[in-house]
Amino acid sequence: MSSSLRVIFAGTPEFAAEALAKILAAGYTVPLVLTQPDRPAGRGMKLQASAVKQLAVQHNIPVAQPLSLRLDGKYPDDAAAAQAAIAEAKADVMVVAAYGLILPQWTLDAPRLGCLNIHASLLPRWRGAAPIHRAIEAGDAQTGVVIMQMDAGLDTGDMLLTDVLDIAADDTTATLHDRLADMGGALIVRALADAQMSKLQPVKQPEAGITYAHKIEKAEAAVKWADSAQTIGQRVRAFNPFPAASAQLGDDVIKLWRASVENTAHNKPVGTVLSADEHGVRVACGEGVLCVTELQRAGGKRLNAADFLRGFVLTAGQRFNV
């Protein structure tokens, strides 16, 4: 398919790169990409381009990396340069996916069709920065992607297209992210086709059911064994791959990557190891038992329970710090 629609793309991580790849594959002209500045990453902390920038460079698309888009903010020169680049691109629409910068009103108004956002939740549930994590953490049965007409609020714009996805019992943020990224890319291509034919029909978000997906903080990773096994298990899945749920045993911090929930009664203090074998490390919780099947010591590798226990002594009766 070829299209005369000109699309500015604003995004940063892999989730956004998947959408950009599908937009390019569908034949849309992308005259400009906006993405976050290169950041130090990896063990050597060398500057690394975002996934979106890497893809843009591969396709010889001009890239802008302003620190801010606010003309009256801390980086007015960056914002003014971005404004000039956006004007020069003469785009019909801007697609925004996990960009990481607030878009001021001048940005929203710049393309004739405005800015379309790819949001990975069923709005108005989980507006905000971490909708995939929070849906799993809350035990939601479903999530999805909404293509939204952006306005000045935090994910408050009119909904244009929606697709729904079941959350599997073993889904982690990593696995759900990949399916939602694929869904988001397909849905934005459909939205652009509808926009070109003036077929998009905005629907206001309902007033009921609004929740906010606050940014994930590293401090949330620490397991509270007084919580139910169900709650802890959901957090283990939600915090995989970041920040990874962790538990402390004496001076050792152990990351918990995978676990299953047993609705089994016990009479042990919370945090007590009930058994530790090749099937998993079973730990007493405030309600039920958590069976941890993939673990990692500080500085070590992620290992299944059997391999982990070959190099770490963990026996029934020991108790994690609570």
Structural domain boundaries in the chain? 7-213, 218-311
CATH code, 7-213: 3.40.50.170
- The whole-number pLDDT of residue 262 equals 97
Q: Which fold has domain 218-311?
A: Methionyl-tRNA Fmet Formyltransferase; Chain A, domain 2 (3.10.25)
Q: Do domains 7-213 and 218-311 have the same CATH topology?
A: no
Q: What is the DSSP letter of 316?
A: T
CA dihedral for 203, 154, 144, 21, sign (positive or negative) = positive
- Distance, in Å, from the CA atom of 176 to the CA atom of 169, rounded to the nearest integer, reads 11
Distance CA 35, CA 56 (A): 10
- For residue range 284-298, what is the model confidence (pLDDT) as tens digits? 999 999 999 999 998
Residues sharing a CB contact under 8 Å with residue 304, sequence separation 6 or more, in sequence order: 293, 294
| DSSP assigned state of 203 | B
Q: β-strand 46-48 against 39-41: which pairing, if any?
A: antiparallel
Strands (E), the chain: 7-11, 33-34, 39-41, 46-48, 63-64, 93-97, 115-119, 127-128, 142-149, 159-166, 212-213, 245-249, 252-262, 273-277, 280-284, 289-297, 303-304
Residue 1 pLDDT class (50, 70, 90 cuts) = very low
pLDDT for the residue 43: 73
- Paired tokens of 20: 């950009």
Identify the pLDDT of residue 3. 62
Q: What are 94-133's pLDDT values in tens digits?
A: 999 999 999 999 999 999 999 999 999 999 999 999 999 9
What are 25-84's pLDDT values in tens digits?
999 999 999 999 999 877 778 899 999 999 999 999 999 999 999 999 999 999 999 999
Measured distance CA(293)–CA(240) in Å, rounded: 14
